[in-house]
A and B are shown apart, each in its own frame.
Chain A
Amino acid sequence: MRKPLTLLQQETRDGLWMLLPAIIVIAVISLLPVLFTFVLSFTDTPLSNPMPQNFVALDNYLHFLKNADFWSSIWRTLYFTTVSVGLELLLGLGIALLIHAKPLGWQFLRASLIIPWAVPTIVNGAIWRWIYNADFGALNVVLFSLGFIEKYQAWLTKPFLAMNLVIVADIWHSVPFIALILQAALATIPVELEEAAMMDGATVWQRFARIRLPLLRPAILVALVVRTVEAFRVFDIIYVITQGGPAFGTVTISYLTYLESFTYGHLGSGSALSFLISAFTLVMALIYIRFLYRPEALR
């Protein structure tokens, strides 16, 4: 006769059964694909016959290291990430502080923030593309009638300008997310703390810099890491607004990977690029875990 299991053994057994479906799914659709991508990155597999073919060692990687398009896509991605995440943090923090001050109608402002956050990314892109339209877009109409421009501008025909306009669209979508988390974090700061500081004659700035900012740090870091990872992989909004144009001016690293894999049909070199993106993401994940993840939160 088998010995009955101890309570701990029972828990382990039950726990494994309960985790099993999740483990299988994650292994099959996330972990194995990442490994498979790594393997493919050493081959010259074409899209037309997608089975791993000739082994080309590091050729795909070496090719990109010498490739100007690759480096400019990296710089563009870094520009997009820094500028959009930086501005989003500043604006998000400002809006969070504004809501926290509870001016007349703050509930309305907070509810309004949900709208851009909930609008699907593709619709967001479609709206802004139409706003920037050279002949009939709202941006031209408004700026022209206010006298800021003398004639209608073709906004999306200048590469650097187009990149900045995509950033504006991204900010519209993402600021609410940051403002909402920071506002929720602000609400958890004990009132007594600020009252005590006020009694002691702290100025508004001192209260912000010495009390709010330090206590907001974890929430700011979470927002920062999450948004950086997302901005680094930006694709959807670029696809709709500029399709990577003009003159490759908005081709970020994800967009280059897409072009390489599915437009030019080089799954091998596309895999090399997508593996580089995974590597960057891994670094960000490690930062996230190192600085932000507290196991005690999970007991």
Chain B
Amino acid sequence: MKFNRKMFAKVWLLLAMIPILFFIYAPVAWLVTSSISTRADLLALPPHLFPANPTLKNYTDILMPGTGVSEVARTFKVTLVNSLIVSLTTTFICLLIASLAAYALARLRLRYKNQFVIGILSVRMIPEISLVIPLFIVAARLGWLDRPIVLIVTYLSFSLPFAIWMLTTFFESIPVELEDAALIDGSSRLNTLFQIILPLAAPGIVSTALFIFLLAWDEFFFALIFTSTIAAKTVPVAIAEFTGRYAVDITAMMAGGVLAALPPVILALIFQRYIVSGLSAGAVKG
């Protein structure tokens, strides 16, 4: 009797998972099948959900563009490279500055430390739209518009407070005795940080780096305002442009979408464990 009830519960729960999994995967499946369809297949009437003649042409159009491909599709590859450069550089600089600050906040006796941490939390919440106008004016004066550097610098506005917060939490979870020993042996603070703490905090650092990379890869608004040509344009802007002024280039947009989604999705799946622990450490990327 009890057994039957348990079985019933299991089956019921399994059934509850089906609509959720459908809601998760249906849009993904639609993205992927659209990306391997020909234009004719997509626009066929009556429509079919699976392409009659699957093809990788949309991908080759983007990655090895021939003639007769739209401007945005032809330059998509360049925007992928831009996104990669901007995201990686942001991640690197941000980790460097943030680990110094987080070490001080986690370990040293400082006055106004709590106020500082509260300040960091508030700064993390400032939306990009509240910063964009002055940053735009200054970037224009400096001649930085449409150059990767403007994105790298401005992306620190959201990634840095975020990284400091997350790393502080991670550093605090490391036992203090090891560094005390190193400090007594005459190691300098910077040495202690780089040789003792950072290796021990590796999981936290990987997790933080991952979140920053995802945030930077995802970023759209600053890229939309600050860049205009392939000199600095990132992938999200390129994808938005497929729907742009002219007709929607749906096949290119879907293939581009898959390419843009692959790096973050693969990283997130590989480092799943870090994502879940990062989220619960109060790390936040919506």
Contacts and interface: CB of A to CB of B under 8 A. Distances in A.
B279 A180 contact: yes
B268 A22 contact: no
- In the A-B complex, list the 5 residue pairs whose CB atoms are closest, starting with the nearest: A103-B13, A184-B280, A118-B268, A36-B134, A22-B101
Nearest to B26: A138
Interface string B137-156: 10010000000000001101
A8 B109 contact: yes
Interface of A: 8, 11-12, 14-16, 18-19, 21-22, 25-26, 29-34, 36-37, 40, 50-51, 95, 98, 101, 103-105, 109-123, 126-131, 133, 135-136, 138, 141-142, 172-174, 176-177, 180-181, 184-185, 222, 226-227, 229-230, 232-233, 235-236, 239-240, 254, 257-258, 261-262, 267, 270-271, 274-275, 277-278, 281-282, 284-286, 288-289, 293, 295, 297-299
A130 B47 contact: no
Interface string B207-222: 0000000100110110
Nearest to B48: A141
A121 B236 contact: yes
Interface in B165-190: 168-169, 172, 189
B102 to A, nearest CB: 9
B264 A119 contact: yes
B17 A103 contact: yes
Interface string B62-74: 0000000000000
A37 B122 contact: no
B279 A181 contact: yes
A32 to B, nearest CB: 7
Interface size band for B: 35 or more
A180 B276 contact: yes
Nearest to B225: A262
A258 B222 CA distance: 11
A37 B134 contact: yes
Nearest to A141: B47
Interface in B78-136: 97-98, 100-101, 103-106, 108-111, 113-114, 116-118, 120-123, 125-136
A15 B117 CA distance: 14
A130 B277 CA distance: 34
Contacts of A288: 121, 125
B282 interface: yes
Given A127-B31, A288-B125, A295-B114, A120 B279 contact: no
B130 A281 contact: yes
Contacts of A226: 284, 286
25 contacts: A14-B108, A19-B104, A19-B116, A22-B97, A30-B157, A51-B137, A98-B13, A98-B17, A118-B261, A118-B264, A119-B28, A120-B236, A120-B261, A126-B243, A127-B30, A138-B49, A184-B276, A222-B284, A230-B286, A239-B220, A239-B224, A277-B129, A278-B126, A278-B127, A285-B121
B196 interface: no
B52 interface: no
B253 A130 contact: yes
Given A21-B101, A103-B13, A114-B272, A131 B27 contact: yes
B134 A33 contact: yes
A235 B28 CA distance: 22
B284 A114 contact: no
A230 B260 CA distance: 22
B232 interface: no
B96 to A, nearest CB: 8
A18 B268 contact: no
Contacts of A267: 133, 137
A235 B135 CA distance: 18
Given A120-B236, A277-B129, 15 more contacts: A25-B97, A30-B161, A111-B272, A118-B214, A118-B267, A120-B264, A121-B220, A130-B34, A142-B49, A172-B27, A227-B286, A240-B243, A261-B132, A267-B133, A288-B121
A115 to B, nearest CB: 6
A260 to B, nearest CB: 10
Interface in B22-36: 23-28, 30-31, 34
Contacts of B117: 295, 298
Nearest to B210: A118
A119 B250 CA distance: 18
Contact of B30 (A22, A112, A130, A233): A130
Interface in B228-278: 235-236, 239-240, 242-243, 250, 253-254, 257, 260-261, 264-265, 267-269, 272, 275-277
Contact of A293 (B43, B121, B267): B121
Nearest to A119: B261
A156 to B, nearest CB: 12
Nearest to A21: B97
A241 to B, nearest CB: 9
Contacts of A121: 218, 220, 236
B168 A298 contact: yes
B42 interface: yes
